[in-house]
Amino acid sequence: MLFLVAITLHLLSAVIWVGGMFFAYVVLRPSAGSLLEGPDRLTLWSGVFQRFFPWVWAAIVILLSTGNVMIFGVLGGMQQVGLHVHVMNGIGWIMFLLFLYLNTVPFRGLRTAVLNSDWAAGANHLATIRHIVAINLSLGLIVIVVASAGRHLL
């Protein structure tokens, strides 16, 4: 039962984080870019991130917690799990560190720039966020493949 609860929460958290990045990067970004001018686009993104990032933080806490519950509480520890679990774990930590940086530097800079109507600085911060999201989205999609087929691939 513990594994069932842990894997369910783990998967839902991954869907929220990676799915949110996919929507933002592939759907919202091109739409906002073609429909909104700079100040409105930057204000939109500041609001979107302000609402999405608490969900990402919750997802990260749940992913780390449930991952450890599964590895150490159910599967017997890191020595007992397959290479695919080590790969998922490593990529997950990279994703977390990238998000931590994104949330503490460029996102705060974007929010400050929007509040001060400093649109040039805001555009620079948004460009940095876009690059980090692209990397994290790519890593997240890799993790999904490794999670679903990793034991057969690695």
The single-letter code of the amino acid at 57 is: W
Closest CA to 126 of 55, 49, 57: 49
CA 28 to chain centre: 16
Tens place of pLDDT per residue across the chain (154 aa): 999 999 999 999 999 999 999 999 999 999 999 999 999 999 999 999 999 999 999 999 999 999 999 999 999 999 999 999 999 999 999 999 999 999 999 999 999 999 999 999 999 999 999 999 999 999 999 999 999 998 888 7
Q: Is the pTM of this model over 0.75?
A: yes
Triad 55, 93, 150: Cα angle to 5°: 100
User: Where exactly are the structural domains of the chain?
Assistant: 2-153
Distance of CA 119 to the CA centre of its chain: 25
